């Protein structure tokens, strides 16, 4: 009981008052990939990340050794690291997150496991146009949040003191990673309901390289916004599926019609495969 009250107090403080929480380096022994290290953020509002072989093998179904992959909305790297293991040290995993507090842990994770991965992290938002934004969170420790052009946004009341940059992904990749694009096989997007706008902004990349797409249908989006997400993906001749987890044995169900995306009121994962 005492432990419960201590943890509850720590969570309340993290929601109301900013402080730096350290990284804890955890080790995992994977059946195929051997020993792996991951920097977990010791913020009491954040659930520890555990990397499993089943997660890595999920990505290996769609990512080959030596491929280029992109993770938009990396957080600390919970999806970035297993994606990078699938692509291997000879591949390229490019990660984007605009949260300056979270990004510190992504940077640490990009430096771990260098014999198995090649991660290039950027503290940037992926947006339609190149411009600056405020990063806003509902929690003082900035364990969540998103970007806004103004400080008056429904994202929360805690505003990071410095603005963050947003970049057009297509232009950014052409300038910084153009040589890797022919090997682009996979893009994961987790942008708190902004996924469809990112997909629109990289439509020519999708048409040219036909990567597998993993996106979210955000629970707080309206029915029209969810239907638009379906349409934006389908117009590229992709087959869209719901899946229940990032696990090689995950249940996967194809959405036959656009209205199928409305069957779930909460946030769901979408796996879209080129036709």
pLDDT at 7: 82
Question: Quick one: average pLDDT of 225-244?
Answer: 96
* Whether pTM exceeds 0.85: yes
- How many Cβ atoms sit within 10 Å of the Cβ of residue 3? 7
> What span, in angstroms and rounded, lies between the C-alpha atoms of 184 and 64?
10
Which among 42, 123, 53, 108 is positioned nearest to 82, based on CA atoms? Answer: 53
DSSP 2-34: HHHHHHHHHHHHHHHS-----EEEEEEEETTTE
Question: Quick one: average pLDDT of 247-264?
Answer: 95
Q: b/e for 252-266, b at 16 or more Cβ within 10 A? A: eeebeeeeebeeeee
pLDDT at 156: 84
CATH number of 51-132+161-274: 3.40.50.150
Residue ranges per structural domain of the chain: 51-132+161-274
Question: Quick one: average pLDDT of 217-227?
Answer: 93
CA distances from 95 to 10, 32, 81, 121, 160 (A): 30, 24, 10, 5, 21
pLDDT at 2 over 70: no
> What span, in angstroms and rounded, lies between the C-alpha atoms of 266 and 124?
27
Mean pLDDT, the chain, rounded, equals: 94
């Amino acid at each position: 009981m005492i432990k419960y009250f201590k943890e509850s107090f720590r969570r309340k403080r993290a929601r109301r008052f900013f402080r730096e929480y350290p990284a804890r380096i955890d080790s995992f022994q994977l059946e195929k990939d051997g020993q792996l290290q991951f920097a977990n953020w010791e913020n009491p509002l954040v659930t520890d990340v555990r990397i499993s072989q089943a997660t890595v093998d999920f990505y290996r179904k769609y990512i080959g050794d030596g491929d280029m992959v992109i993770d938009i909305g990396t957080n600390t790297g919970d999806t970035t690291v297993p994606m990078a293991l699938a692509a291997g040290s000879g591949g390229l995993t490019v990660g984007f997150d605009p949260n300056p507090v979270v990004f510190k842990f992504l940077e640490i994770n990009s430096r771990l496991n260098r014999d198995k991965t090649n991660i290039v992290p950027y503290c940037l938002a992926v947006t339609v146009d190149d411009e600056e934004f405020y990063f806003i969170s509902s929690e003082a420790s900035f364990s969540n949040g998103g970007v806004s052009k103004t400080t008056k946004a429904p994202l929360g009341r805690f505003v990071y003191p410095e603005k963050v940059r947003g970049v057009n992904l297509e232009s950014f990749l052409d300038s910084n990673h153009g040589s890797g694009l022919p090997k682009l096989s996979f893009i994961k997007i987790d942008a708190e309901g902004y996924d469809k706008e990112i997909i629109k902004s990289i439509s020519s990349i999708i048409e040219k390289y036909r990567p597998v797409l993993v996106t979210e249908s955000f629970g707080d989006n309206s029915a029209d916004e969810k239907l638009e997400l379906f349409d934006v993906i389908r117009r590229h001749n992709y087959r869209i599926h719901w899946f229940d987890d990032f696990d090689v044995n995950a249940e996967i169900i194809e959405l036959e019609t656009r209205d199928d995306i409305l069957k779930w009121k909460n946030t769901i994962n979408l796996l879209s495969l080129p036709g």
